[in-house]
Amino acid sequence: MKPTYSTLFLSLLASTEAISLHKREHGLEPRVMSVPIQRRQIDNPLAHDRKRLNRRAGTVNVGIDNEQSLYFLNASIGTPPQNFRLHLDTGSSDLWVNSVNSELCDTHANICAESGLYNANKSSTYEYVNSGFNISYADGSGASGDYVTDTFRMGEVSIKDLQFGIGYITSDNEGVIGIGYTSNEAVVDQPDPEFYKNMPARLASDGVIASNAYSLYLDDLESATGKILFGGVDEQHFIGDLVTVPIMKINDEYSEFYVKLQSINSGSEIVGEGLDLGVVLDSGSTLTYLPSSVTDSIYQLVGADYEEGQTTAYVPCDLANQGGNLTFKFTSPAEITVPLSELILDFTDITGRQMSFTNGQAACSFGIAPSTSQVSILGDTFLRSAYVVFDLDNNEISLAQSNFEATGSHILEISKGKNAVPSATGSDGPQSSGSENAAGSLSPLGSTGAVSILAGAMALTFAWFLI
């Protein structure tokens, strides 16, 4: 999820250089926090993505879950601990959870049970801050309530008196852990905003990690888990070298993870050249959103069915087995290759039935959609193919090709300051020319001719069948 702005003023800073990594001396373990993340299946990624915000030497290793295509991590808040499953979001900056007194959860208790409900009365470390918590989304949904502080636990790490929001009036059953710039916190909309240190900033200031930086590894579409490393990188999870590009400013300040996208190609076929386009790296967006002039060229290349007014394009599911990829090129020499198979997403109805075209072919949605605003986003359909380091202290992003075949781990700490040690080199990864990470090109596949639009509505005519 990411903030939107009426006008964007973007400027580049610094040149491409290597990220600063550090092997600690005297055999000390790197200050890195590793957290597993999980992916959760959602029925309508487009509807989710429309809920955009209206405004906008240690390592911590955390796992994340993946269920195509929201990513979550597990944490607890309070004393004694109350457990939560939180939506991981690089496109926002506030941690917030539903209150046990949330109107939404009180009416529909079952939809909030899995994510967790916060009961301030049951925590001895709860402290009230103010009633200024208010996040609003572009579709009018959001959450409002109190800012409070309490003890936050993730893995073996505890943060005392971490500020977060608790929602009493909400329209979302999922709690969110925003890990972006503090300048992008919801308080930015208040007359005299009082920004606070969010979770990554607290990890750095408390000395749990050496600098406010973290790396994200989502793994491929088939994987149910990934990992976020606060304060470090894992050399086994990427291929080649990390290449660093500058984050771009918005309205003369750093508030989001904007980088410059220069071109997109598939082998010798150019589908976007001389773009000079600011794009946001946003783990809270399930799809990738680009200008229609770019998506039109991509749809023509892959033979996707799309008509103006549709929210996304549709392709035969077996397109995932035909090879090929798209290469996204940033400030030279940074580039990421996305296999076509990572862009083909299951398309089912609310009962889980597979959708099909009227000719009987199984229908899947395509992971790149036209942007409906001035903002272009590289969401999870791009990020799964990239190993990304978000360096908030130095206002830089480092990119490398994700290693889908990673089995081991070799963690390095991201030190404070710039250029402390030479750049890290990732694992060689699979070398077979048949690897989906290898370069390749797409051939136009032609249209199935089996999709119809009903009088300007976004309704598709499909044949239905059970799988």
**Catalytic residue check, 189:** no
How far is the first Cα of the chain from the last one, in angstroms, to the nearest whole number? 32
How far apart are alpha carbons 328 and 313 in whole angstroms?
A: 20
Strands 59-66 and 32-41, sheet pairing = parallel
Please report, as a single letter, which amino acid is at residue 96. W
Residue 413, SS3 per DSSP: strand
DSSP codes of every residue in 125-186? T-EEEEEEEEEEBTTS-EEEEEEEEEEEEETTEEEEEEEEEEEEEES-SSEEEE-S-GGGSG
Classify residue 191 by its DSSP letter: S
Residues 6+ apart with CB under 8 A from 449: 305, 359
Q: Judge whether 240 and 68 are in contact, CB under 8 Å.
A: no
How far apart are alpha carbons 115 and 82 in whole angstroms?
A: 11
Please report, as a single letter, which amino acid is at residue 8. L
**Catalytic residue check, 89:** yes
Active-site residue identified among 65, 89, 172, 220: 89
How far apart are alpha carbons 390 and 119 in whole angstroms?
A: 33
Burial of 430 (0-12, 13-18, 19+ CB in 10 A): middle
Q: What is the largest CA-CA distance in the chain?
A: 70
How far apart are alpha carbons 91 and 88 in whole angstroms?
A: 9
Residues 6+ apart with CB under 8 A from 96: 133, 135, 143, 145, 164, 165, 166, 167, 175, 176
Active-site residue identified among 172, 219, 234, 282: 282
271 DSSP β-pair partners:
none
Two structure tokens written together for 453: 């639009």
Please report, as a single letter, which amino acid is at residue 135. I
Two structure tokens written together for 358: 């009227």
366 DSSP β-pair partners:
344
Instruction: Please list the active-site residues.
Output: 89, 282
